[in-house]
Amino acid sequence: MAGLRERQKADREKRILQAAVTRFRADGYRAVRIEDLAEAAEVSVGTVYNYYRTKGDILIATVTMEVEEVLDEGEALVANPPEGVADAILTLIFGYYDHSLEYLSKEMWRRAMALSIEAPETPNGRRYLDLDRRLAGQVTALLETLQARGAVRADIDPATIGQLLFNDLNMEFIEFVKNEEMTLAALRDRVAAQIRPLARLIATKEEP
Amino acid sequence: MAGLRERQKADREKRILQAAVTRFRADGYRAVRIEDLAEAAEVSVGTVYNYYRTKGDILIATVTMEVEEVLDEGEALVANPPEGVADAILTLIFGYYDHSLEYLSKEMWRRAMALSIEAPETPNGRRYLDLDRRLAGQVTALLETLQARGAVRADIDPATIGQLLFNDLNMEFIEFVKNEEMTLAALRDRVAAQIRPLARLIATKEEP
DNA sequence: GAAAAAAGTTGAACTCGCTCATCTTTGCAG
DNA sequence: CTGCAAAGATGAGCGAGTTCAACTTTTTTC
């Protein structure tokens, strides 16, 4: 059985993260002070820093929870994708997009992305990078499945085109969170307009 | 003739920006305090804020200088690009990359990019966005030139593929500045590996 | 079960970006 | 040249993230 100390630690960490998820969404990342989180989690400011190195780390931890879910759903889809190349790719990508705002606001995404660029060497910066890599990996895996099925031309390299695709959908997602007015539907339209022509180029059969 | 007041203003602004360019590169963006810039420019802290709204704005001003130069060179190349599709695209992109570290460190790029994501609504966030758009525009313009020449298939849309390409080269550049170890040569290799297959897909003739 | 060691918590203090009430300089009218 | 208005410079002070030396709690040792 876990010792008292260990249980208390796990409990405190959970309380801090829970406070963060709640307050960040309710009041905005910026507006929430570490002192507020400490108060809500019933610990001191110093203790918060014992569990997370920076305020940004707390945010990345919440983003990670969100993205893990998205990755799980993607897994299922990659195993058994729809028929057409464009359909398969867009179903996967739209799955990512549609879940993105479930727990996180655009402000939180902006800050998290800014952090992953600014502090790539911190443990949590690395964690974010790893999530990105796994997402890119799913896109590649999907292309491989489609190629094995004979739907994608044999002379293209799934890893290369997968990275190209992922870079595109990632940049478009960045533009989406940067623009508070932009809707999910508009994001989908933009990306579809870019993916469809590419799908046509790499498909073996005529794409609809 | 310009009045004394006006001359002094212009002079102070120049001194602040000059101090920023010098010190940011020498000591790192983070390590340089506004007070240091004020001292170097022989003005007070408050005066620095009279010319630039935030520390980030000062950085964006230096980035803007850099990118304007790159855009000028790109202009010349777009007007008269090399023969092959991959060659033309890569020459343009490598021109961007090779100049990127002339005045700016990777740390400065990271901070500038983070800022453009986090604060897209500020005057300088918008300015950065505009630079991005102009770079993407050059890629599109290049594809149009190549298409007019008959080197690119008539059934592809330069704006769409141009955006896709730009998203890719932009994301790869982000990965480059995130990784302090990565060399320009490695960046070039990665991007070439992604652009070449795409160039083959959109070209009319066999690409080398 | 007491004492020592290890682990973890605490909050006052520090830093640095940024603001604003006050002061100084410049331009101009009479 | 003098006095006044406008423009701009100034730096003490504020707020929020972060640190760290002292304190408290838990675990281990004998």
Contacts of A179 in chain B (CB under 8 A): 120
What integer is the mean pLDDT of A182-200?
96
Q: Which residue has the higher pLDDT, A122 or A16?
A: A16
Across the interface, do A178 and B117 touch by the CB < 8 Å criterion?
A: yes
User: C-alpha angle with apex A66: A62 to A69, nearest 5 degrees?
Assistant: 145
Query: Is residue A1 pLDDT above 70, yes or no?
Result: no
pLDDT of residue A125: 84
* Predicted confidence band of residue A71 (pLDDT cuts 50, 70, 90): very high
Query: Is residue A122 pLDDT above 90, yes or no?
Result: no
B86's CB contacts (< 8 A; 6+ apart) are: B192, B195, B196, B199, B200, B203, B207, B208
pLDDT tens, chain B, 208 aa long:
478 788 999 999 999 999 999 999 999 999 999 999 999 999 999 999 999 999 999 999 999 988 999 999 999 999 999 999 999 999 999 999 999 998 899 999 999 999 999 988 887 788 899 999 999 999 999 999 999 999 999 999 999 999 999 999 999 999 999 999 999 999 999 999 999 999 999 999 777 7
| Residue among B95, B105, B93, B107 nearest B171 (CA) | B93
Q: What is the mean pLDDT of chain A?
A: 94
* Predicted confidence band of residue A124 (pLDDT cuts 50, 70, 90): confident
Nearest protein residue by Cα to C1' of nucleotide C19: B46
CA distance to partner chain B, nearest, from residue A160 (Å): 6
In the structure, how far is the CA atom of residue A8 from the C1' atom of nucleotide C6, in angstroms? 16
Burial annotation B19-48 (CB, 10 A radius, 16+ → b, else e):
bbbebbbeeebeebebeebbebbebeeeeb
pLDDT of residue A201: 94
Q: Report the largest interatomic distance among the alpha carbons of chain B, rounded to a whole angstrom.
A: 64
B171's CB contacts (< 8 A; 6+ apart) are: A167, A170, A171
pLDDT tens-digit series, residues A84-101: 999 999 999 999 999 999
Residues of B contacting chain A (CB within 8 angstroms):
110-111, 113-118, 120, 129, 156-157, 160-161, 163-164, 167-168, 170-172, 174, 177-180, 193-194, 197-198, 201-202
Q: Name the residue facing B163 among A164, A179, A194 (closest C-beta).
A: A194
Residue of B nearest to A190 (CA): B160
CA distance to partner chain B, nearest, from residue A141 (Å): 17
Q: Name the residue facing A160 among B160, B178, B193 (closest C-beta).
A: B193
In the structure, how far is the CA atom of residue A47 from the C1' atom of nucleotide D23, in angstroms? 14
Across the interface, do A164 and B201 touch by the CB < 8 Å criterion?
A: no
In the structure, how far is the CA atom of residue A11 from the C1' atom of nucleotide D27, in angstroms? 19
Across the interface, do A179 and B120 touch by the CB < 8 Å criterion?
A: yes
Supply the Cα-derived Rg of chain A in whole angstroms.
20
For strand C, the positions having any atom within 7 A of a protein Cβ are 7-13, 16-21, 26-28
pLDDT tens-digit series, residues B105-144: 999 999 999 999 998 888 778 889 999 999 999 999 999 9
Query: Is residue A2 pLDDT above 90, yes or no?
Result: no
Q: How many CB atoms lie within 10 A of CB A12?
A: 17
**How is residue A30 annotated by DSSP?**
T
pLDDT of residue A206: 73
Q: Which two tokens stand for residue B20?
A: 């920023």
pLDDT of residue A120: 87
**How is residue B152 annotated by DSSP?**
B
Predicted structure pTM score: 0.92
Mutate to test the interface with A, among B121, B157, B164 (most CBs of A within 10 A): B164
Mutate to test the interface with A, among B171, B182, B195 (most CBs of A within 10 A): B171
Residue of A nearest to B155 (CA): A197
pLDDT tens-digit series, residues A44-58: 999 999 999 999 999
pLDDT of residue B165: 95
Give the position of tokens 């592809």. Answer: B156
In the structure, how far is the CA atom of residue B2 from the C1' atom of nucleotide C28, in angstroms? 16
What integer is the mean pLDDT of A176-189?
97
B183's CB contacts (< 8 A; 6+ apart) are: none
In the structure, how far is the CA atom of residue B151 from the C1' atom of nucleotide C22, in angstroms? 68
pLDDT of residue B107: 95
